[in-house]
Amino acid sequence: MAEIRFLLNGEPHAAGGVSPTMTVLDWLRLKARLTGTKEGCAEGDCGACTIVLGRKASGELQYQAVNSCLMMLPQIAGCAVLTVDGLAALDGTLHPVQQALVDADATQCGFCTPGFVMAMFAFHHGGEGAEDTSIHEALAGNLCRCTGYRSIVDACRRIASGPNDRFASRAAATADALHTLPACTDYRHDGQIFLSPRSLAELHAARAAHPDALLLAGGTDLGLRVSKDREAFPIVISTAEVGELGQIATDAQALTIGGAVTYSQALPYFDKHFPSFGMLVRRIGSRQIRNLGTIAGNLATASPIGDTLPCLIALDASVSLASRAGERTMPVEAFITGYRKTALAPGEVIAAIRIPLLAADHRFAAYKLSKRFDQDISTVVAAFRLALTDDKVREVRAAYGGMAARAMRALNLEAALTGREWTQENLADIDAALGRDFTPMSDHRGGAAYRLRAAAGLVRRLQLETTSRVPTGVEAL
């Protein structure tokens, strides 16, 4: 039986003899007896379970905050795992992040504090400045029920602009130590199997040998079945280490994102080519979630409220599906066939998603309506690709989530807009067009009538934002 090898608070460690679907959080608390890391929600929302993973990226050590409650133990193989228990020096001297929280009087009951410490540690090592937007984004994945956040933000501001701790000084040695750790491609215990292939060929072979295995990308969706429902999957195949699936490429025509690329890895490319898409991704989940979750995983779930899906459809993205038989490509719009259903055939995996770059005269905008601004499930998501000629709509692609059993285009709306003057007056009848496109459901996130009115309101917002000389986006206010 292979062991899972990693660095734990700077020391080499090997874990074995436990279920491969044991969460990292449970292992830390129950096996390693590192009880500083807490369980709050067990679904990646509260951040109390936050730890930091160090991995080599572009030859350097990169620290990222993650939710340990959503990760299965083999997912930390080959990583430098840091918990709140290991930040202070051996003589008891607090880490600068810990000291900043003390100095800012930023703790009360203390239950959430370990998670904040680790999220701030990753922020500290990211070298970001003390701007409110950066701090808000770094802390958005951590909830506190006591302090009101101001003191925590003050503490975060104190440790901004780069690390000055012992972890920075020994980063190169840590990266070298990671290089010596043996890969854990096949971990088994008590009839359960966790496979982590390194190439597409190995992935196809694993799928052929275990056709009923569950595919694990980042685990931010599948992980809930382990953390909340306590399911023990017989066979799991991780795609995270498949080299071909971790590639990102751009050319003159398109951005291509591999099937194992995380939100965090894709985000700089979205910011450059589709800024509105990047803004939406920041609201999908916290940094802890974005550091694990993948674009392909969001597509594969085919949720009617999957936030990236309307964007991919509106941008006319295509998906490449790979199997032992070869590779085929289809539009994302055709890939989603129904409620949580896709065109994936047995043995196929999402190899890549190709997103055409915008032409010079095209604009793209994405909007999300939810009860909470950050990290909330959407009520309505809308995405638009728009081209105007002489203030008339020459071309428009409009896609919505939360309006039907699957994310889909609003074809009647597109037809109603094409050729019209792009003015508020000419949007008077779009509500009726959207009513022909969708018959939304009512649930606790919003009624059917609200969803239809909101969907129409987002078109009107698009018109205002693309014609006004004054910024009108609510995020800018």
Structural domain count, the chain: 3
> In the prediction, which pLDDT does 475 show?
56
* CATH number of the domain within which 251 lies: 3.30.390.50
- The C-alpha atoms of residue 350 and residue 308 are separated, in whole angstroms, by 15
**Whether 144 and 19 share a structural domain:** yes
Tell me what pLDDT residue 71 has.
97
Q: Which residues of 373-405 are buried (b: 16+ CB within 10 A; e: fewer)?
A: eebbebbbbbbbbbbbeeeebebbbbbbbbbbe
Cβ contact 96:89 at 8 Å: no
For residue 198, give both structure tokens.
Answer: 């390194």
Tell me, yes or no, whether 154 and 202 share the same domain: no
Domain holding 196: CATH number?
3.30.43.10
Which of the listed residues 244, 273, 294 is the one where a domain comes to its end?
244
Distance of CA 366 to the CA centre of its chain: 16
192 and 329 together in one domain: no
Residue where one domain finishes, among candidates 130, 159, 179: 179
Q: Are 162 and 212 part of one and the same domain? A: no
Of 139, 155, 179, at which residue does a domain stop? 179
Residue 476's pLDDT is 44
Identify whether residues 301 and 417 lie together within a single domain. yes
- Residues 177, 179, 184, 185, Cα dihedral to 10°: 170
Closest CA to 442 of 379, 390, 385: 379
* Per-residue pLDDT, 472: 62
Q: Are residues 264 and 281 in the same domain?
A: yes
CATH number for the domain that contains residue 106: 3.10.20.30
Give CA–CA dist 389/348, Å, rounded. Answer: 42
Looking at the fold, whether 51 and 169 belong to one and the same domain comes out as yes
pLDDT given for residue 162 in this prediction: 81
d(CA 407, CA 398): 11
Q: What tokens were used for 365?
A: 């905008």
The answer on 268 and 237 residing in a single domain is no
Dihedral sign of CA atoms 423, 424, 429, 434 in order: positive
Backbone angles phi, psi at 222, to 5 degrees: -60, -35
| Among 358, 361, 360, residue whose Cα is nearest residue 383 | 358
Q: How far apart are CA 420 and CA 235, in angstroms?
A: 55
pLDDT at position 473 is 61
* Claim to verify: residue 166 and residue 291 sit in the same structural domain: no
**255 & 221 share domain:** no
The pairing of beta strand 4-8 with beta strand 80-82: parallel
Helices 430-437, 448-467: axis angle to 10 degrees equals 130
Among 378, 9, 347, which residue's Cα sits nearest to residue 209? 347
Q: What is the mean pLDDT of each run of 10 residues along the chain (477 residues)?
A: 91 96 98 97 94 90 97 97 96 96 93 97 94 94 90 95 89 93 95 97 96 94 90 96 97 97 97 97 94 96 96 98 96 97 96 98 96 89 98 98 97 98 96 97 94 97 89 55
Statement to judge: residues 286 and 412 lie in one domain:
yes
pLDDT of residue 56: 87
- The pLDDT of residue 57: 83
Its domain, for residue 108, covers: 4-179
69 and 46 belong to one structural domain: yes
